[in-house]
Structure 1
Amino acid sequence: MMVVFTIANTALGMKSQLVKPMVDRFRADLEAFRHHAATPKGHGALKATFSFEADLQEFFAPSFPVDTLKMLVFDRISALGKALSLVVQIENASLGLYRSVEERRSLISSFKLRPMDDAWALRYFGEKLPSGHTHREFADLVDVIASFTDDVIYFSGSLIEELLAHGQVLHNAFSRAYGEGAPKVSSPDFSGPKKSGLYPSAADYEAWERWITERGDPKEGMMKAHGQNVLNGWRRLGIILSAVWLAFVATVFSEPSAAPAMSAWMRPCDRLSDPLCLFDTASPLRVSFLASLPIIALWGLGYAAGWIRKGFSDNH
C-alpha cells in the first residue's frame, strides 16, 4: 500500500510544483499570443511586437518504484484482473512521463540555440509558420506531460482503492476464521488534492473504467478467490493423507509384522466365535474396499463442513 501511495504522492507533488505551473503559464501565453496575432493593426501603423517570457525551465521526471510495485502485486498478493491492469497502466504512464520530460529538455536545448525571432515564437507555441509548416512538438509535449502525470495519479489512486478492498476482504476472512487480531487496513486520504483540483477527474477516465469493469462485485470475487485457495490447500492435504493411509494398509496387508494388531484385524477370522470379525476370507479387493471406507467418510465430512460454513458466510 505504501509503495503505490508513494507513487501517487510523488506525482501529485510534481504536478503541483512543476507541471501545473508550466501548463497554466504556457496556455496563458498562447492565448495572449493568438489574441495579439488576431488584433488588426491600425492604418499605416506598424504592428506592435509581442513580448513574452518563454518558459524554458528544465526539470527531471521523478523516479517511481514501479518494479517494487510489480513484484508486490504480481507475486506477493492474490490480486485480481483490475489491480494487475492498473499496475501495467502505472508503468506505462511513468515511462511515458519520463520520455516526454526528456524530449522537452532536448527541445529546450535546441530552442536556446535558435535566434529569438518571429519564427522562434511560432515554433514555441506550435503555430503555423509563414512557409505553411507547423511544428507542434514543444506545444504538444506540454499537454502530453500533463496527461501522463494525471494518468500516474489516477491509476495509482485507483490501485489504492483496489488494494484497500482486497485487504478488507482478507481482514474479514481472517477475523471469521481466527477471531480478532487481524491487522487493520490503513486508508490514505486524497480529499485535499481532490478539493484543490490536483487529483484528476474520474470523468476523464470513464471509457477506461467501462472497459476494465469486472463482472460482479470485486470484493465477492476476491473472497471467492481466497476461499478457493484455502479449499485447494485442504484438498491437497486430503489427497496426501489418503495416499499415505492406502499405502499403510497395503504394507500391513503384505507385511503382517509391520503392525500386528492391525494385521490381525485384516486377516480371516471366525465370525461365529469373534463378533468383531469383518470377513472370513482375505482378498486384496476386500481389504481395499474396507480401507477406503474411512477415506470416503472423512472426505464426506469435510465437504459437509465446507458446505455448512459457506452457508454461514453467504449470510454476511
Structure 2
Amino acid sequence: MIPYVSDAWSALNSNFWTSLFGAGFGAIAGAWAAQRIADQKELRRNQIQEIRSTNTAITIAVAASNLFAALKRQYVRPLKESFDAARKELQNFEKIEGVERGAQPLVFRFKADFQEIMATRSQTDALKNILFYKINSRSKHLTLMHLLIQVEDNLNSCIEKRNQFIEEIRTSKIDDQRKLVDLYFGRIDKDGHIDERYPALIEGISTFTDDALVFSISLARDLVEHGSELEAALGRHGPRVTRPDFKKIEELDLIPKTDDYRELLARISGDAER
C-alpha cells in the first residue's frame, strides 16, 4: 500500500476517529428518530383535532336536517297537500255541467291556507368555516355544502314572497270569490290576465325543503365516512366519530325518494373521485 494512503487509513481506523464517526452517526440517527416521533405526535394531534371538527360539522348538518324535517312536517307538507287537494276539487268543479252557464253560475268555495311560515336559519356559516379551514374536505363535501346554502336561500326567498303575497291579499280585501280563486290557483281571470305566483311559490317551498333535507343528510353521512377513516387511522385510543341516526325522520316518511336525487348525487360523487 502507498505509504501516505496507509497512514491515512490507519488514522481513520484509530479509536479517535472511530468514536467520532460513531458519535456523529448516532447523533444523526437519534435526531432522525426524535423528529419522526415528533412528526407522528403532531400528525396524531392534527387527526384528533380533525375528528373533533368533523364531529362539529356532522352535528351542524344533522341540526339542519332536523330543522328542515320539522318545517316539512309542521307546515310544508300540510300546505302542499291542502293546496293540491283544493286544486283537484276545483278541476272537478269545473267539469260540472252549467258552471259557466246560466243566470247564476256556481261559485267554487274553498278554504285558503294563508298561514305564514317563518324563514329557516341553519348554521351554514359555521359549517362553511369548518369545511374550508378545519378539515381536509373532499370536493363532494364542499359541493353538498354549497347546494345546501343555495337551496336554503331559495327556500327562504319563496317563503318571504309567499308571506308578501298573503299580505297583499289581506290588504286588498278581495270580496270577489272568483278573483280569489284565480289568484290562489293561478288561473286566467275574466280580463284575460294570469298571476301564477302563488302556485309557483307553493311548489318552490315544497321542492326546496326536500332538496335541503336530502343535501343536509347526504352531507352528514359523507362526513361520518370521512371521520370513520380518521378514526381507523388513530386506532381504539382516539376519539370516536359521531354517527347520527335518521330513523325517526325516515319513519315519518319525510325524506324524499332517493331515486329523484340518485343521478345528481352520483354525479357529485363522480366529480369528487376525479
TM-score (normalizing by structure 2): 0.73
Is the contact between residue 114 and residue 120 of structure 1 (CA under 8 Å) also seen in structure 2?
Answer: no
Partner residue of 1:25? 82
Please give the secondary structure, in 1, of the residue aligned with 2:261. helix
User: Shift of residue 186 of structure 1?
Assistant: 2.3
Name the SS of the counterpart of 1:77 in structure 2.
Answer: coil
CA deviations on 1:254-296 (whole Å, 9 max, x unpaired) are xxxxxxxxxxxxxxxxxxxxxxxxxxxxxxxxxxxxxxxxxxx
Q: Percent identity?
A: 28
Distance in 2 (CA, whole Å) between partners of 1:10 and 1:136 is 29
Contact 2:98 2:105 in 1 (8 A): yes
Contact 1:168 1:185 in 2 (8 A): yes
CA deviation string 1:184-210 (max 9, x = no partner): 222211123223321111111123123
Paired AA for residue 87 in structure 1: M
| CA distance 1:215–1:116, shift in 2 (3 Å) | same
Structure 2 residue runs without a partner (length 5+)? 1-57
- Of 158, 165, 168, the residue aligned with 1:107 is 165
**Cα offset for 1:52?**
1.1
Map 1:63-82 → 2, pairs under 5 A:
63-82=121-140
Q: Secondary structure at the match of 2:128?
A: helix
Is residue 2:213 matched to residue 1:153? Answer: yes
The secondary structure found in structure 2 opposite 1:53 is coil
Write out per-residue CA displacement over residues 29-53 of structure 1, whole angstroms, 9 at most, x where no aligned residue.
1111121122112886744322111
Q: Distance in 2 between matches of 1:209 and 1:71?
A: 23
CA contact under 8 A between 2:140 and 2:271: conserved in structure 1? no
Match of 1:94 among 140, 152, 163: 152
Write the mapping of 1:267-278 to structure 2, written as runs, cut at 5 A: none
SS of 2:144's equivalent? helix
Q: How far does residue 91 in structure 1 lie from its aligned partner after superposition? A: 0.5
User: What are the within-5 Å matches in structure 2 for residues 256-267 of structure 1?
Assistant: none
For the pair 1:209 / 2:265, whether they are aligned, the reply is yes
Query: Is 1:9–2:66 an aligned residue pair?
Result: yes
The one of 190, 203, 212 equivalent to 1:130 is 190
Q: Does 1:195 align with 2:255?
A: no
Q: For 1:174, which of 234, 245, 254 is the aligned residue?
A: 234
Residues in 2 aligned to 1:127 and 1:41: alpha-carbon distance in whole angstroms: 19
Give the C-alpha shift of residue 98 in structure 1: 1.0
> C-alpha offsets along residues 95-117 of structure 1, whole Å, 9 cap, x if unaligned?
11111110000000111114132
Name which of 151, 169, 175 aligns with 1:116.
Answer: 175
Taking a change above 3 Å as real, the CA distance of residues 111 and 195 of structure 1, as seen in their structure-2 partners, is: same
Correspondence for 1:249:
none
Q: Deviations 1:47-95 (Å, cap 9, x if unpaired)?
A: 4322111111112112111100101111111010101100000100111
Q: Secondary structure at the match of 1:61?
A: coil
1:128 deviation in Å? 1.9
Between the aligned partners of 1:199 and 1:93, the Cα distance in structure 2 is: 16
8 Å CA contact 1:83, 1:162 repeated in 2: yes
- Would the aligned equivalents of 2:141 and 2:223 in 1 still touch at CA under 8 Å? yes
CA-based RMSD of the aligned residues comes to 1.9
Count of matched residue pairs: 214
State the secondary structure of the residue aligned to 1:192.
helix
Aligned to 1:297: none
* One-letter identity of the residue aligned with 2:239: P
Relative contact order, higher structure (CA 8 A, sep 6+):
2
